[in-house]
Structure 1
């Protein structure tokens, strides 16, 4: 898996994305019809978001006192993916609040003819005191600054 920063998605009516990473569809991700099962996009979003956080210098899972939990996730599908398809996932933080942030991911299939837009996903992620309990906590200033600096490279 490789990551690239400061990229624009191929469809120019979308704002630029701060980061992208590529990976392939695994056989276990497909259903009886030979296409990626819709529920797997949550795994793809997580994979792309983790790579983004690594590149931005933010702890992948957060840390005690502000651990990341997905509050909501939406996916809009545009085209199918199949076993061995190469995917490029474009990632950006589209909003940062006091305790949460929104991650947008655009998935494109890469082939000999170029890129095909296959799906868009969004996760709203909240930081909590601990995974065992406790309420929402403010994002550490250093993480907020790291995200803002990483995102600023695309503008």
Structure 2
């Protein structure tokens, strides 16, 4: 995903509001899913929609009006009714250099459109998501066995070492209240 920050994305000082980072991360994931035929349009045909059930965000740097932001989403894990993604937002600087802005983890659940309850992912969509996760695994940075943290890594894959951070402390975890 590539977006230029518009005036509507910023606060009075011209800096992007923190909540807009989450929206950009979600957009990056949904664009990836749509591109592979596993997004909201494909799910709607099955009477299924997506709901975010977990969100973790780590802010590294701010961005401002007219900055170009890149979003790189990766499917990390696929279950029966849920899947976990990791997204990194970068600012594209002069000379095509990238500055890390935000890293985050979004967990999506398949929800019955009419009932609002979790349902299994449609088999074709689940298979596509598993393929995306397998592709991401091929390009992932190696992890240390004892800690699970990434080891130094240089390369051109979907994941970059600086995009992968240790899991945030429980204080950083936001879990929306369940709705009736």
Same fold per superposition (TM over 0.5): yes
Match of 1:91 in 2: 73
The structure where helix makes up a greater share of residues is: 2
Q: CA RMSD in A?
A: 1.6
Match of 1:122 in 2: 105
- Unaligned runs of 5+ residues in structure 1 are 1-20
Match of 2:8 in 1: 28
Paired residues for 1:68-147 under 5 Å: 68-113=50-95, 114-130=97-113, 132-147=114-129
The structure where strand makes up a greater share of residues is: 1
- Unaligned runs of 5+ residues in structure 2 are 139-180
Distance 2:8 2:99 in 1: 22
- What's the secondary structure of 1:102's corresponding residue? strand
Distance 1:134 1:77 in 2: 31
Q: Number of paired residues?
A: 134
Distance 1:60 1:134 in 2: 15
How far does residue 74 in structure 1 lie from its aligned partner after superposition? 2.0
Bigger Rg, which one = 2
